[in-house]
Chains A and B, each alone.
Chain A
Amino acid sequence: MELLRTERISKSYQGRQILRDISIHLEEGELVSLLGLSGSGKTTLLNIMSGLVMPDSGRVFLSGNDITGKPGQISYMLQKDLLLEHKRVIDNVALPLVIRGMKREEARAKADPYFRQFDLEGTQMLYPAQMSGGMRQRAALLRTYLGSNGVILLDEPFSALDMITRGQIHTWYMDIMQKIGFSTILITHDADEAILLSDRIYLLTGSPGEIHHELRIGTPRKDRRDFNLQPEFVRYKRQIRDALEQASG
Chain B
Amino acid sequence: MKKRSANIRAKLLPVGAFCLILLIWWGLSASGMIPGYMLPSPADVVGAFIHDFPNLMHHAFVSVTEALLGLLIGMALAFGLACVMERFLTLEQAVMPLLVATQTIPTIAIAPLLVLWMGFGMEPKIMLVVITTFFPIAVGLLDGFKSADPDAVALLRSMNATRRQIFRHVKMPAALPYFFSGLRISASYAVVGAVISEWLGGFEGLGVYMTRVRKAYAFDKMFAVILLIVIVSLLLMKLVNVIRDLSMPWLRYRTEKTQQLLHE
Contact = CB atoms under 8 A, between A and B. Distances in A.
A94 B52 CA distance: 59
Interface string B131-172: 000000000000000000101101111111100010001100
Contacts of B256: 129
Interface in B156-208: 156-161, 165, 169-170, 173, 176
A128 B254 CA distance: 9
B152 A84 contact: yes
Interface in A205-226: none
B18 interface: no
B155 A99 contact: no
| Residue of B154, B155, B160 with most partner-chain A CB within 10 A | B155
A99 B149 contact: no
A99 B253 contact: no
Contacts of B149: 82
B254 A129 contact: yes
Nearest to B158: A50
Interface in B231-264: 248-250, 253-254, 256-257
A87 B173 CA distance: 9
A95 B158 CA distance: 12
Interface string A64-97: 0000001110111010101011110000000110
B169 A84 contact: yes
B155 A71 contact: no
Given A75-B159, A85-B254, A52 B154 contact: yes
Nearest to B170: A84
A117 interface: no
Contacts of B152: 82, 84
A129 B253 contact: yes
Contacts of A75: 158-159
B173 A72 contact: no
Given A71-B157, A71-B158, A147-B159, A86 B253 contact: no
A96 B161 CA distance: 9
Contacts of A72: 158-160
A87 B152 CA distance: 13
A130 interface: yes
Contacts of A51: 158, 160
Interface in A33-56: 47, 50-52
A115 interface: no
B253 A82 contact: no
Contact of B158 (A52, A80, A87, A100): A52
Interface string B215-245: 0000000000000000000000000000000
A12 B169 CA distance: 32
A91 to B, nearest CB: 9
Contacts of B155: 76, 78, 82
Given A52-B154, A82-B149, A84-B173, A99 B250 contact: no
A75 B159 CA distance: 7
Interface of B: 149, 151-152, 154-161, 165, 169-170, 173, 176, 248-250, 253-254, 256-257
Q: Which A-B residue pairs are the 7 nearest by beta carbons?
A: A72-B160, A129-B253, A86-B173, A127-B250, A129-B254, A99-B159, A50-B158
26 contacts: A47-B154, A51-B160, A52-B158, A71-B157, A71-B158, A72-B160, A76-B155, A80-B151, A82-B149, A82-B151, A84-B170, A84-B173, A85-B250, A87-B250, A95-B169, A96-B159, A99-B159, A99-B169, A100-B159, A127-B249, A127-B254, A129-B250, A129-B254, A129-B256, A129-B257, A147-B159
Interface of A: 47, 50-52, 70-72, 74-76, 78, 80, 82, 84-87, 95-96, 99-100, 127-130, 147
Given A52-B157, A87-B173, A99-B165, 12 more contacts: A47-B154, A76-B158, A80-B151, A84-B152, A95-B169, A96-B159, A99-B160, A99-B161, A99-B169, A127-B249, A129-B257, A147-B159
